[in-house]
Amino acid sequence: MPMRRAPLRGGGSDVPPTARRRHAPPSNVAREHEPAANRHFQMARALRSARVRVRPFVPNDIPAVASIVREALRENYPTSLYLDIHRWWRDGFLVADLDGHPVGFLAAVISADGQARILMFAVTAVFRKQGFGSQLMNAFVQACAVRGIRTIELEVRISNEEAIRFYKRYGFEISAVLPKFYTDGEDGFKMVRRLG
Q: Is the pLDDT of residue 159 over 50?
A: yes
Contact 104, 136 (CB under 8 A): yes
Q: Among 121, 131, 179, which Cα is nearest to 153's?
A: 121
pLDDT of res. 41? 56
Q: Is the pLDDT of residue 154 over 50?
A: yes
123 forms beta bridges with 104
Active site residues: 155, 167
Backbone phi, psi, residue 133, to 5°:
-65, -40
pTM beyond 0.95: the answer is no
The domain limits of the chain are 51-194
Rg (CA), the chain: 25
Q: Is the pLDDT of residue 61 over 90?
A: yes
- The predicted-structure confidence for 28-53, as pLDDT tens digits, reads as follows 444 444 455 555 555 555 555 457 89
- The predicted-structure confidence for 114-139, as pLDDT tens digits, reads as follows 999 999 999 999 999 999 999 999 99
Distance CA 166, CA 164 (A): 5
Please count the other Cβ atoms lying within 10 Å of the Cβ belonging to residue 147: 14
pLDDT of res. 74? 84
In this structure, what DSSP letter does residue 178 have? Answer: E
pLDDT of res. 25? 42
Mean pLDDT of the chain: 82
Q: With left for phi above 0 and alpha for psi between -120 and 50, is residue 109 left, alpha or beta?
A: beta
- Lowest average pLDDT, out of 21-30, 92-101, 146-155, goes to 21-30
Q: Which CATH superfamily is domain 51-194 in?
A: Gcn5-related N-acetyltransferase (GNAT) (3.40.630.30)
- Strand arrangement of the beta sheet that strand 151-157 belongs to: 52-56, 93-98, 101-110, 115-123, 151-157, 188-194, 173-178
